[in-house]
A and B are shown apart, each in its own frame.
Chain A
């Protein structure tokens, strides 16, 4: 597989889409270098899925220039389809067929040579940890298994650009972690380009080289995870003190972000790493202050949105 480094795998300018009066995308620009992972971060209804649907030729944009893998999305959709793979939010597997039959179906539709079909199916079943369930109908799979089969089906055609629309939404923490490992492996081993959408800052942070934040149909921020977090501000540690004396002492001595005198809690900036926590605990020990409760808070999507838009996620427009 050739990786055309330097050439964008996805390039889009001024993409607009509206349903009647409801503007879903209000002029989106994307520039995703080949071989990288790009995360589109936003709450429900921000327009993330619409971006994926437009770039994967499923629906048409009202306006804008879009090229995927070098091909124009509007003028040459079949060339785009031949280069991409899509794993959507809703599982796109045939529940009546077994996992193996689903993969063989994809092998046929991708016109793999007869000898390679079974090998490709077997490889993907092994890689996505589906060997034990290979002969069972997909309708009997758990959510995590369905999602893995879905991704395996996407990989049969060896796509150069992969769209993952909320790949871990609705999965339990363990399945989510497995999925992250698989996605990371894809990028490291095969050099594919991935555009993923997610509601979870942690997910974007783990997987993406660059993150763009989508808010009411516009990109309100873009950068590496570090750049974004710097914009957002770091996390903090919350300490609740047992007695007023200790509270006062700590409030005077420590670098405090905010305080609540009634609850006797202090917020202290911290990245939540072991070293700074140990330093804090050592100091508390040393000064013999009694702390009833300690909470470590890492920045999440709420913080990002609060920092970028002044609104928490819950107050976002409940769009489609």
Chain B
């Protein structure tokens, strides 16, 4: 085997080992998945039952009311789940970095970035499980997606892209933070972004400045693409924007996180 291909195969093997480590953590503390799903579910129920009657009518569709609003809000809540889970990832990376085990990994002949890759892949699985739980609750409260099998696959693809992008970003932010609490706080704005986009109400209903921000921030194309796939609304250029944003954020987050990890641990 050439040294390059050996390096690559080692990187895969080490990342797989680190992923198994994360899955073990998850199996030992399955409540993490429920916690990550809990906040979005509460928001779903609040928005549907407290605000949904009025907001649904405001959408101006033919049916209106609460039933219309459930179908409108679920994609936004799903993206909120992605953001909540990213915060969880940041916390667990920050905890890891304060532990001696990472110092041990650094003195071992393993692929350096595999610790982080393990976190990201573990979070991907955990987030998808949380989203499944959220969709389950949504179906119970009247969510009626129109997607066929192909569109569901597309939706999963969009979610995998956004999860990878936001998770790499949160891993980098977690390493910028010097403490677990800071890491958690740094990710809070990420949870508000779905609300300041097209997640809960159409951006047309917002004041000019906010509408401009809402139209151009990445969560809006994420939500519009997902909504289009699940509910058959027009997608237009949202799909292209989503792929572009995700590639940009994922690559930027990855390179940033890698650079931060390779920096000398300060005492």
Contacts and interface: CB of A to CB of B under 8 A. Distances in A.
Contact of A88 (B100, B105, B264, B267): B100
Interface size class of A (residues with CB under 8 A): 20 to 34
Contacts of A84: 107
A97 B24 contact: yes
Contact of A108 (B20, B106, B264): B20
A131 B110 CA distance: 28
Contact of B103 (A19, A58, A105): A58
A39 to B, nearest CB: 20
Nearest to B10: A111
Contact of B107 (A56, A60, A150): A56
B224 interface: no
Contacts of A94: 21, 99, 101
Nearest to A56: B107
A157 B105 CA distance: 12
A105 B25 CA distance: 13
Interface string A92-103: 111111000100
A248 to B, nearest CB: 57
Contacts of A58: 103, 106-107, 264-265
Contacts of B20: 105, 108
A108 B114 CA distance: 13
A101 B107 CA distance: 19
Contacts of B110: 109
Nearest to B110: A109
Interface string B241-267: 000000000000000000000001101
B182 to A, nearest CB: 21
Nearest to B105: A109
A320 interface: yes
Interface in B1-57: 10, 13-14, 17, 20-21, 24-25, 28-29
Contacts, number: 67
Contacts of A86: 103-104, 107
A81 B109 contact: yes
Contacts of A59: 264-265
Contacts of A175: none
Contact of B17 (A95, A105, A137, A153): A105
Contacts of B103: 58, 86, 88, 90, 92
A96 B108 contact: no
A150 B101 CA distance: 9
Main secondary structure on chain A at its contact with chain B? loop
A97 B108 contact: no
A109 B14 contact: yes
Residue in B14, B17, B107 with the greatest tally of chain A CB atoms within 10 Å:
B107
Interface in B73-93: none
B108 A81 contact: yes
Given A93-B101, A96-B29, A109 B108 contact: yes
Interface string A148-161: 00100100010000
B109 A82 contact: yes
A91 interface: yes
Given A90-B100, A93-B100, A108-B20, A81 B107 contact: yes
B29 to A, nearest CB: 7
Nearest to B28: A96
Interface string A132-175: 00000100000000000010010001000000000000000000
A212 B21 CA distance: 40
A316 interface: no
B262 to A, nearest CB: 11
Nearest to B7: A78
B183 to A, nearest CB: 18
Residue in A97, A109, A320 with the greatest tally of chain B CB atoms within 10 Å:
A109
Given A59-B265, A108-B20, A109-B17, A78 B101 contact: no
B250 to A, nearest CB: 26
Contacts of A271: none
Interface in A267-320: 320
Residue in B20, B21, B100 with the greatest tally of chain A CB atoms within 10 Å:
B100
Nearest to A105: B21
A88 B100 CA distance: 8
A58 B108 CA distance: 10
A101 B101 CA distance: 13
Given A91-B100, A92-B101, A109-B14, A57 B24 contact: no
Contacts of B99: 92, 94-95
B191 to A, nearest CB: 25
Interface in B108-125: 108-110
A137 B264 contact: no
A85 to B, nearest CB: 8
Interface of A: 19, 56-60, 78-79, 81-82, 84, 86, 88, 90-97, 101, 105, 108-111, 137, 150, 153, 157, 320
5 contacts: A56-B107, A84-B107, A97-B24, A105-B17, A111-B13
Interface of B: 10, 13-14, 17, 20-21, 24-25, 28-29, 99-101, 103-110, 264-265, 267
Nearest 8 pairs between A and B by C-beta? A92-B100, A92-B104, A82-B109, A81-B109, A108-B17, A90-B100, A86-B107, A56-B107
